[in-house]
Copies of this chain bind each other. A is one copy, B any other.
Amino acid sequence: MAAPLESTPARRAPLSRARVLHVAMAYADTHGIDALSMRSLAQELSVVPMALYKHVGGKEDLLDGMIEVVVGEIVHEPATGAWKRDARERILAARSTLQRHQWSRAVLESRPAMTPAMLDYLDALTGLFIDGGLSVDLTHHVMHALGNRMWGFSQELFAATPPSDTASFNAQRDALPRQHPHLAQIARAAAHAGPDGVLVLGCDDAFEFEFALDIVLDGAEKLHALNWTSG
């Protein structure tokens, strides 16, 4: 036998986390996220359901991985220095990417999703504002205003990391300044001493909500005064 390695003609491509994620995304793109189950995905890969668990932690991890890929797909145009235009462009790029995967919005909204790609995106966007000259304080609240229910990410940015794993929490916090310097700046600014003296990273949800609300209402008032029209 010359080629024992290829003796079975229709040899399956080997599984891998990347392949699982991409096939899952394609499947969700065409059949909808509700149709995506471990079983349907396994069938799509001509594999038994449990095989997936060797490459993915479970359904949650699968979904996390999928949005991680989507967020990673967002194209970052190089900054031109005009912060407002740059931010606008980047956010619209993000939107068009999410738009290509209809399911991503619902999935994103259903989980905290502070994945590495997400942090990269947030840090880059934050950097545009800070480097553009906005104060860290203002940047902080603008990020909330943009994110609050617009992407579904913001309100739990630094919230409620369960203290179950203090070690890795500390590790992550210490790595933040290096990897995501702009987010770290915000975190420092938003930190305040809790009742027991421990430093607590927390954002005042109600404040952020009203901040965003007032921006929209003030904008409406201004446009009204200008007799603005969409035509």
Residues of A within 8 A of B (CB): 84, 87-88, 91-92, 95, 106, 109-110, 129, 133-135, 137-138, 140-142, 145-146, 148-152, 207, 209-221, 223-224, 227-231
Can you show 25 pairs from A to B with CB atoms below 8 A apart?
A: A88-B213, A88-B214, A91-B213, A92-B209, A92-B213, A95-B209, A106-B110, A109-B109, A133-B224, A137-B229, A138-B220, A138-B224, A138-B228, A138-B229, A140-B230, A145-B220, A146-B216, A149-B150, A149-B151, A150-B150, A207-B230, A211-B230, A215-B216, A216-B219, A218-B219
Q: Which residues from B are CB-within-8-Å of A138?
A: 220, 223-224, 228-230
Q: Which residues from B are CB-within-8-Å of A110?
A: 106
- A217 contacts B149, C-beta separation under 8 Å: no
Q: Which residues from B are CB-within-8-Å of A217?
A: 84, 87-88
Q: Which residues from B are CB-within-8-Å of A207?
A: 230
Q: Separation in Å of the A30 CB from the closest CB of chain B?
A: 19
Q: A109-B152, A211-B230, A218-B219 are in contact. List 7 more A-B contacts (CB 8 A).
A: A84-B220, A106-B110, A137-B230, A140-B230, A145-B219, A215-B215, A215-B220
- B149 contacts A220, C-beta separation under 8 Å: no
Q: Which residues from B are CB-within-8-Å of A221?
A: 84
**Nearest opposing residue in chain B for A141, CB measure:** B230
**Nearest opposing residue in chain B for A204, CB measure:** B230
